[in-house]
């Protein structure tokens, strides 16, 4: 493989879906409130009831620590693998055709199991599912650090992707079950959201430091140790948020749309595999196996739509009811999450490659350049947690995505000889803003249209969309970068100049996607008012 190519979730009752939100003024000088974002009708025996009051400070701290750290560690490892991949591949003798699989396999296995494990979590209980995920993530993370071959690393990264699928949906359920609507829930979602971009940026930073000092394996060892500590805290400190329910096996059989999950997960898995293969080498799109999987994944989409539509008409469990997509806000939020996560993840990945392959910096020099990103992510999420219930959601998203668009634009115009402070620093600093703003708003919106009984499923829906967005964003960006590099005027297609042409084209593509997403959400979220407020 050429260097340029590597350069790179129901219930047995009829449902009623909220219509696009309308603006209601509570007085002449009070900002509008999005009080039409109400959930689908929940049954009288729903598993959870909306918490009536805020939890104590101790419970709040424990929930925030456990939820934030486990999700942050997952993203940290993604960043660490991104920056240390060349070294790992060399030490483990990983075949060049499998070079990007330690990155891709994690998103693939995570994305195709989120809907299933989110649905099971709503029946079994979010706390046991979350703790199970913590244990599995610790074990497979440690195994990654102990891997002796490239295939072992890929295998354990795949199992780690399944492990985090236990945690992500149940974490959303734990938050909505612990905190009533209002400031604390907003802060919890903002904190969880901040954990992901902060973790990814820290992974990029620590990966280079470890690679040039004590070795990349210590990144996995450290993550496993911290994850185990979080598990112990969670066992004794996490509140029990699920009521006891009899006949669990019967509920597992009757309250989960198994066939819908199977069709949806199969489509996601095949699509993710196809894009992962294309990311490794753009010529793979012509491979009969890859092309067939891509066609089958697309063909399964109408089959999924038909099945969940049938389930909804019959009043049976439907993993994602078709009527949800008639809600303009919900649909636009999902599209926004898909595009924004693709842009955020891809920009940081291509920044890493630009620093190392165009500016020819060492891994540790590259890592130091990502230090502003976790700082920016922390600041953005603190602000979002504090003001989400005070400002209009569309304004908050507009500001965040505008900053992310600026970050992409700066990488479009950067020149290899320019100093870090000219464009790279503000780009690295501003890039997380859009994902951070949208994470809080989108979680509040998505959980509001799912009943209390299926909050883990709601979390699965959100995270599935985000994972697919990451895969598609990176794959399409890689195709553009490789194609432009191959057609460049430079004789040596592996030279920094030729690679720079490809990366610049990818940055322009990501900038265009970010601008388009901003316009879409400005239209789609118009009149939404404020979200995350206590209902009267």
Q: Is the dihedral of CA 262, 265, 270, 271 positive or negative?
A: positive
Question: Residue 412's pLDDT is what?
Answer: 93
Query: Considering the entire predicted model, what is its pTM?
Result: 0.74
Mention every residue, 6+ apart, whose C-beta is less than 8 A from residue 249. none
Lookup result for tokens 């340029």: 4
User: 177, 458 in Cβ contact below 8 A?
Assistant: no
Question: Residue 201's pLDDT is what?
Answer: 73
Using DSSP's 3-state secondary structure scheme, residue 332 falls into helix
Residue pLDDT, tens place only, 345-384: 889 888 888 998 888 888 778 878 888 887 887 787 778 7
Lowest-confidence segment of 156-170, 325-339, 409-423, 437-451 by average pLDDT: 437-451
| Domains recognised in the chain with CATH numbers | 17-37+52-524 (1.20.1250.20)
Of 514 and 66, the one with more pLDDT: 514
Q: Please say if the pLDDT value at position 4 is more than 50.
A: no
Question: Residue 53's pLDDT is what?
Answer: 58
Measure the CA–CA gap between 146 and 54, rounded to whole angstroms: 43
Residue pLDDT, tens place only, 219-254: 899 889 988 998 898 888 887 765 545 556 676 777
Residue pLDDT, tens place only, 400-422: 899 999 999 999 999 988 999 98
Residue range 69-78: average pLDDT? 83
Q: Please say if the pLDDT value at position 103 is more than 60.
A: yes
Question: Residue 495's pLDDT is what?
Answer: 85
Angle at CA 208, nearest 5°, toward 203 and 213? 120
Of 406 and 90, the one with more pLDDT: 406
Lookup result for tokens 């100049």: 497
* Most confident of the ranges 124-138, 180-194, 247-261: 124-138
Per-residue confidence at 54, pLDDT binned at 50, 70, 90?
Answer: low
Measure the CA–CA gap between 452 and 158, rounded to whole angstroms: 31
Of 250 and 296, the one with more pLDDT: 296
Residue range 21-43: average pLDDT? 39
Nearest in space to 86 (alpha carbons), one of 242, 279, 178, 216: 216
Measured CA distances, 205 to 71, 78, 101, 439 (Å):
17, 12, 21, 23
C-beta neighbour count of 536 within 10 angstroms: 6
Residue range 385-396: average pLDDT? 76
- Per DSSP (E only), the strands in 394-451 are none
Measure the CA–CA gap between 244 and 133, rounded to whole angstroms: 21
Measure the CA–CA gap between 29 and 530, rounded to whole angstroms: 14
Using DSSP's 3-state secondary structure scheme, residue 423 falls into coil
């Amino acid at each position: 493989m050429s260097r340029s190519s590597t350069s790179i979730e129901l219930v047995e009752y009829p449902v009623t879906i909220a219509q696009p939100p309308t603006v209601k003024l509570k007085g002449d000088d009070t900002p509008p409130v999005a009080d039409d974002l109400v959930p689908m009708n929940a049954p009288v025996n729903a598993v959870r009831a909306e918490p009536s009051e805020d939890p104590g400070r101790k419970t709040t701290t424990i929930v925030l620590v456990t939820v934030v750290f486990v999700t942050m560690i997952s993203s940290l490892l993604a960043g660490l693998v991104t920056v240390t991949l060349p070294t790992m591949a060399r030490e483990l003798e990983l075949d060049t055709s499998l070079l990007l699989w330690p990155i891709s396999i994690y998103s693939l296995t995570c994305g195709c199991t989120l809907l299933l494990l989110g649905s099971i979590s709503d029946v079994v209980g979010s706390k046991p599912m979350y703790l199970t995920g913590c244990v599995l993530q610790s074990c497979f993370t440690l195994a990654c650090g102990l891997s002796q071959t490239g295939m072992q690393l890929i295998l354990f990264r795949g199992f780690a992707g399944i492990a985090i699928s236990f945690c992500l949906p149940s974490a959303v359920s734990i938050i909505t079950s612990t905190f009533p609507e209002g400031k604390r829930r907003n802060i919890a979602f903002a904190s969880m959201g901040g954990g992901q971009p902060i973790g990814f940026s820290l992974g990029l930073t620590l990966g280079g430091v470890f690679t040039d000092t004590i070795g990349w394996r210590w990144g996995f060892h450290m993550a496993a140790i911290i994850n185990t500590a979080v598990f112990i805290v969670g066992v004794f400190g996490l509140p029990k948020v699920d009521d006891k329910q009899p006949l669990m096996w019967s509920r597992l059989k009757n309250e989960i749309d198994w066939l819908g999950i199977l069709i949806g997960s199969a489509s996601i898995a095949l699509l993710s595999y196809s894009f992962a293969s294309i990311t490794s080498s753009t010529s793979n799109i012509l491979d009969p196996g890859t092309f067939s999987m891509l066609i089958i994944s697309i063909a399964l989409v109408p089959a999924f739509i038909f099945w969940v539509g049938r389930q909804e008409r019959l009043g049976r469990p439907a993993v994602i009811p078709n009527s949800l997509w008639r809600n303009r806000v919900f649909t636009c939020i999902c599209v926004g999450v898909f595009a924004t996560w693709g842009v955020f993840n891809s920009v940081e990945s291509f920044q890493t490659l630009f620093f190392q392959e165009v500016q020819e910096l060492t891994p540790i020099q590259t890592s130091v350049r990502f230090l502003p990103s976790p700082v920016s992510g922390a600041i953005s999420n603190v602000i979002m947690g504090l003001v989400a219930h005070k400002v209009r959601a569309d304004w908050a998203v507009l500001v965040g995505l505008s900053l992310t668009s600026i970050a992409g634009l700066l990488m479009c115009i950067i020149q290899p000889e320019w100093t870090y402070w000219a464009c790279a620093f503000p780009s690295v600093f501003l890039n997380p803003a859009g994902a951070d703003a949208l994470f809080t708003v989108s979680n509040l919106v998505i959980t509001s249209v799912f009943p209390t009984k299926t909050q883990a499923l709601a979390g699965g829906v959100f995270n599935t969309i985000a994972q697919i967005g990451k895969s598609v964003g990176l794959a399409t960006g890689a195709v553009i970068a490789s194609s432009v590099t191959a057609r460049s005027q430079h004789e040596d297609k592996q030279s920094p100049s030729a690679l720079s042409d490809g990366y610049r084209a990818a940055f322009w593509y990501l900038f265009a996607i970010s601008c388009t997403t901003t316009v879409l959400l400005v239209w789609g979220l118009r009149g939404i008012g404020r979200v995350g407020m206590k209902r009267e």
